[in-house]
Amino acid sequence: MNLLRTLRRPDWIDELHGLLLLGTVLTGAGGVAAVIATLAGQPIEVEVATETALRPDALTGAPAGVVLGDSLVLDVTDPTAAQLGWALLATLPRFVLITATLALLWRAIGRARRTDPFRSGLAASLRSLGILLIGGGLFAWVAEVVARFGLSATVDVGGTYTTLDLTVPAVWLFLGITLLAVGEIVRRGQEMRADLDGVV
Partner 1 sequence: MPPEEAHRVSVHIEKLLAERGMTLTELSARVGITLANLSNLKNGHARAIRFSTLTALCDALQCQPGDLFTVEPDS
Residue among 81 and 200 whose Cβ is closer to partner 1 = 200
Site for partner 1 in 177-196 (CB under 8 A): 195
- Angle between the N-to-C axes of helices 81-114 and 12-39, in degrees from 0 to 180, rounded to the nearest 10: 160
Residue among 61 and 198 whose Cβ is closer to partner 1 = 198
DSSP result, 102-153: HHHHHHHHHHHHHS-TTTSTHHHHHHHHHHHHHHHHHHHHHHHHHHHHHHHH
199 binds partner 1 per the rule CB under 8 A: yes
Residue among 67 and 200 whose Cβ is closer to partner 1 = 200
Calpha distance 177→171 (Å, rounded): 10
* CB 180, CB 126: distance < 8 Å: yes
x/- track of binding to partner 1 for residues 138-177 (CB under 8 A): ----------------------------------------
57 binds partner 1 per the rule CB under 8 A: no
Residue among 45 and 191 whose Cβ is closer to partner 1 = 191
Rounded to a whole number of angstroms, the minimum distance from the CB of residue 192 to partner 1 is 12
The one among 1, 40, 64, 200 contacting partner 1 by CB under 8 A: 200
Number of residues in contact with partner 1, rule: CB under 8 A? 4
Residue among 166 and 196 whose Cβ is closer to partner 1 = 196
Nearest alpha carbon to residue 154 among 71, 40, 46? 46
CA atoms within 13 A on the CB side of 60: 1
Rounded to a whole number of angstroms, the minimum distance from the CB of residue 13 to partner 1 is 29
Which residues have CB under 8 Å from 149's CB, separation 6+? 160, 161, 162
Instruction: Please report, as ranges, the residues that interact with partner 1 according to CB under 8 A.
Output: 195, 198-200
